[in-house]
């Protein structure tokens, strides 16, 4: 049986609609899982029941995290937020971690994993983190724009000290949350991946493996390892 991977829904507030980027789903299908787009739920017991039907969680990109969740006021430079999505994902992640379910967070996914553990975010790199590194590339996204140095679990998993990645984010981890380890840093020392070492597989990456896995061994291996951990 293939593992079923719950994929957090994308929300278009302006159009009042839910949507999905096919690359996330294709990546899971190509690497041995069955993707299932998760509804945006608010009831804790409903979330528990949904989690009992899936084997892993993929946290997708999207809106900025509401800064009040990391004890900051929302600055002008912060982008659009979705409290509906934040609240659902916080509960979903807490419950998934409690049952040691594998989680892979991408982009916003690494940011919410850090927030849940008490960490903070840069609300906008352009104004708060002056750097020569391009973290906000334009399409196509299957190109490499900066390198990351790997550490701890990711270095062990990928067997590399350094890999090249794409980069499309205007926010990033600032102060690391409790219990987390930094697993990758960019050339400008920005945190690019985190993991929760006390669990089987809770990893968040700031880059976008869904645009790289089919051309790049490291990202292929990362996502394949996540899906393999989701098998019962």
Residues in the site for Mn ion, rule: CB under 5 A? 135, 167
- List CB contacts of 14: < 8 A, sequence separation 6 or more: none
User: Burial level of 159, CB count in 10 A (0-12/13-18/19+)?
Assistant: exposed
Pick the closer one to Mn ion by CB: 165 or 223. 165
- List CB contacts of 50: < 8 A, sequence separation 6 or more: 6, 38, 39, 41, 92
Measured between its terminal Cα atoms, the distance across the chain in Å is 9
23 is catalytic: no
Pick the closer one to Mn ion by CB: 38 or 180. 180
- Which of these is catalytic: 78, 192, 208, 230? 208
- Which of these is catalytic: 107, 169, 170, 192? 107
Pick the closer one to Mn ion by CB: 11 or 186. 186
230 is catalytic: no
Q: How far is the CB of 169 from Mn ion (least distance, A)?
A: 6
217 is catalytic: no
Task: Using alpha carbons, select from 124, 111, 44 the residue that is nearest to residue 79.
Answer: 124
- Which of these is catalytic: 23, 89, 192, 210? 210
| 4-8 and 56-59 strand pairing | parallel
Q: How far is the CB of 1 from Mn ion (least distance, A)?
A: 36
Q: How far is the CB of 78 from Mn ion (least distance, A)?
A: 18
Phi, psi (degrees; rounded to nearest 5) at 180: -90, 155
- List CB contacts of 196: < 8 A, sequence separation 6 or more: 97, 113, 117, 179, 180, 181, 202
Pick the closer one to Mn ion by CB: 95 or 131. 131
Catalytic residues: 107, 208, 210
């Amino acid at each position: 049986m293939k593992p079923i991977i719950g994929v957090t829904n994308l929300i278009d507030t302006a159009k009042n609609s839910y949507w999905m980027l096919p690359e996330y789903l294709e990546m899971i299908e190509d690497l041995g899982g069955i993707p299932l787009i998760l509804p945006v739920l608010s009831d804790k017991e409903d979330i528990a029941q949904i989690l009992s039907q899936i084997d892993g969680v993929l946290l997708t990109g999207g809106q900025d995290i509401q800064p009040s969740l990391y004890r900051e006021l929302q600055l002008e430079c912060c982008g659009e937020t979705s409290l509906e999505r934040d609240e659902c994902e916080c509960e979903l992640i807490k419950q998934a971690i409690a049952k040691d379910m594998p989680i892979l967070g991408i982009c916003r996914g690494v940011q919410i994993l850090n927030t849940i553990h008490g960490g903070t975010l840069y609300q906008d790199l352009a104004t708060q983190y002056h750097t020569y590194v391009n973290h906000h590339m334009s399409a196509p996204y299957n190109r490499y724009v900066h390198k990351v140095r790997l550490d701890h679990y990711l270095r062990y998993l990928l067997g590399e000290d350094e890999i090249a990645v794409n980069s499309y984010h205007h926010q990033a981890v600032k102060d690391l949350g409790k219990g987390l380890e930094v697993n990758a840093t960019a050339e400008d020392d920005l945190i690019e991946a985190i993991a929760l070492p006390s669990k089987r597989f809770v990893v968040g990456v700031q880059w976008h493996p869904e645009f790289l896995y089919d051309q790049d061994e490291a990202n292929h291996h990362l996502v394949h390892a996540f899906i393999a951990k989701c098998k019962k």
